[in-house]
Structure 1
Amino acid sequence: MDKALYVAMTGAQASLQAQGTVSHNLANANTHGFKAALANTRAFPIQGNGYPSRIDAMHVDQGFDRGLGAQQVTGNALDVSLRQDRWLAVQASDGSEAYTRGGELTLTANGQLVTNGGRAVLDEAGNPIAIPPNQALEIGSDGTISIIPQGEGPQTMLQLTRMRVVEAPAERLQRGGDGLMRNTDPTQPFVQATGKALDSGSLEASNVDAAGALVQMIQLQRQFEMQVKVIKHGDENAQSANTLLRVSG
């Protein structure tokens, strides 16, 4: 009976963890550039002395869904939508390089280019980008930033800098607790993306399927309830068996 209780208990734990993943996806259904987290379970035989009859139901983090979200045209010169497997380099809170697809950019009061979450956008050299006062700004498809200086005519447009947009396959990215992606192998830095890397004046929506996530949440809840019932009935059976043993003794 203890084997059944163990399997049900680990299954319930895995269901709770999966529910946490799905709820996180739902919470970010309206976050621009968000990639849905994937979760699954797998059987893990418990090692040790004796016959390996106990099987742990283990929660597995399967990364994220790399599919593109819907494109939303905004007309804002500071909004960028990145192409497949292209990621914008930003500065994390610890000063390290991290990556995001959230292309809703803004300028601070001192001219620093940041994401909607306040992360500094990096240039090709890995430095935060600062933009001087200007009367027009344009972001090219390769990430170059051009401006018309304040008080000047259109013929004075100059290329200021280029954003660091890297080409990064999904299998080499891991999401951190701050929601930013990081290189799983820092010894092999990502390279600057070539060619058309982004579209300006538009944003990528989250690729979370809200309706599907709600259905999955209901399924996980029912699964958890079933596993808890197994644990409860197993405990009741164990108590009944102990009572019979005491009576027969």
Structure 2
Amino acid sequence: MVQSLCIAASGMQAQQTHLDVISNNLANVSTTGFKRATTVFEDLMYQNLRQAGGNNTEQTQLPTGLQLGLGVRTVATSRSYTQGSLQQSDKSFDIAINGNGFFQVELPDGTTGYTRDGTFEINAQGQLVTANGNRVLGGVTVPADARSITVGKDGVVTALIGLNNPQPQQIGTIETASFINPAGLEPRGQNVYTETQASGNPVAGTPGADGLGYLMQGHLETSNVNVVQELVCMIQTQRAYEMNSKAVTTSDQMLQKLTQL
């Protein structure tokens, strides 16, 4: 009886964690380049009270066993890297990756971060930076007298410099990177991920080549969160939480009956 209380409590805790993940997905439904997460559960150890296949007599074996489970726990959050919709914008420094890959940015501690958020700006030095001021790797520096900035599908950035120069000049290149296991990346907030041993080493390359997606100037990738799907998951989580809480109540009532005997 006491075990049922612990088992139901583990179920309530697991569903609460699931709801936290769903809430975060819904909170970021409008976040550029956000990737939805799902919760991964596993059952806990079992009490093996009767071993399946054990000898019942010298001539017979038990066809089934008696194992009592001890509940559930959350083991991981798996992130889906399916591409979100590409939305057109009016800014020349809004860039989306159509396909596989991440933009590479320099974090404040000097390490490299990876993002799908292509909401870029120009800082006081003419460098291409993220909305948080992190420099985009690739050596893009926009001169003060540059006009008509063009970002090619292969990441080559050109501009018309000066008033009387009709010939575009290259002012930098944007490289993207891919991972063998992007699900192993660690989210750091601010739309940035960092590599881990699970993700593998980044493989940098030219957009549009070697399996990397090409760049689209004047576009942004929206979140891949499906609101309807998240709401359905929320209702399922609520029902599962209610059933586990009902199991706690039922176990408590049975214990009360037992103490009255």
| TM-based fold match above 0.5 | yes
| Counterpart among 161, 179, 182 of residue 194 in structure 2 | 182
Q: Which moved more, 1:107-116 or 1:219-228?
A: 107-116
Partner SS, residue 259 of structure 2: helix
- The percent of aligned pairs where both chains have the same amino acid is 28
Question: What is the Cα deviation at residue 213 of structure 1?
Answer: 0.5
Q: Which position in structure 1 is the counterpart of 2:115?
A: 100
TM-score (norm 1): 0.84
Contact 1:122 1:163 (C-alpha < 8 Å) held by counterparts = yes
Q: Return closer, same or farther for 1:209/1:92 CA change in 2, 3 Å cut-off.
A: same
Q: Which runs of 5+ in 1 are unaligned?
A: 245-249
Question: How large is the Cα RMSD of the aligned pairs?
Answer: 2.6
Question: What is the Cα deviation at residue 24 of structure 1?
Answer: 0.6
Q: What amino acid does structure 2 have at the position aligned with 1:168?
A: F
Q: Which moved more, 1:166-175 or 1:37-46?
A: 166-175
Q: Which position in structure 2 is the counterpart of 1:32?
A: 32
Question: What is the Cα deviation at residue 163 of structure 1?
Answer: 1.9
Contact 1:46 1:55 (C-alpha < 8 Å) held by counterparts = yes
Q: Which position in structure 1 is the counterpart of 2:54?
A: none
Q: Return closer, same or farther for 1:119/1:212 CA change in 2, 3 Å cut-off.
A: same
1:116 matches 2:131: yes
Q: Which moved more, 1:92-101 or 1:4-13?
A: 92-101
Partner SS, residue 24 of structure 1: helix
Q: Return closer, same or farther for 1:55/1:84 CA change in 2, 3 Å cut-off.
A: farther
Q: Which position in structure 1 is the counterpart of 2:44?
A: 44
Question: What is the Cα deviation at residue 109 of structure 1?
Answer: 3.5
Q: Return closer, same or farther for 1:62/1:2 CA change in 2, 3 Å cut-off.
A: same
Q: Return closer, same or farther for 1:146/1:186 CA change in 2, 3 Å cut-off.
A: farther
Q: Which position in structure 2 is the counterpart of 1:57?
A: 72
In 1, Cα distance between equivalents of 2:147 and 2:101: 29
Q: What amino acid does structure 2 have at the position aligned with 1:180?
A: V
In 2, Cα distance between equivalents of 1:170 and 1:83: 19
Question: What is the Cα deviation at residue 28 of structure 1?
Answer: 0.8
Q: What amino acid does structure 2 have at the position aligned with 1:199?
A: M
TM-score (norm 2): 0.80
1:211 matches 2:211: no
Q: Which position in structure 2 is the counterpart of 1:229?
A: 246
Contact 2:94 2:120 (C-alpha < 8 Å) held by counterparts = yes
Q: Return closer, same or farther for 1:184/1:172 CA change in 2, 3 Å cut-off.
A: farther
CA deviations on 1:193-248 (whole Å, 9 max, x unpaired) are: 3352311121111110011111211221221122112112212322331232xxxx
Contact 1:63 1:174 (C-alpha < 8 Å) held by counterparts = no
Q: Which position in structure 1 is the counterpart of 2:57?
A: none
Q: Which position in structure 2 is the counterpart of 1:163?
A: 174
Q: What amino acid does structure 2 have at the position aligned with 1:138?
A: T
Q: Which position in structure 2 is the counterpart of 1:16?
A: 16
Question: What is the Cα deviation at residue 53 of structure 1?
Answer: 3.9
In 1, Cα distance between equivalents of 2:87 and 2:81: 18
Partner SS, residue 260 of structure 2: helix
In 1, Cα distance between equivalents of 2:164 and 2:23: 50
| Counterpart among 136, 139, 144 of residue 156 in structure 2 | 144
Q: Which position in structure 2 is the counterpart of 1:69?
A: 84
Which one has a bigger Cα radius of gyration?
2
Q: What amino acid does structure 1 have at the position aligned with 2:116?
A: R
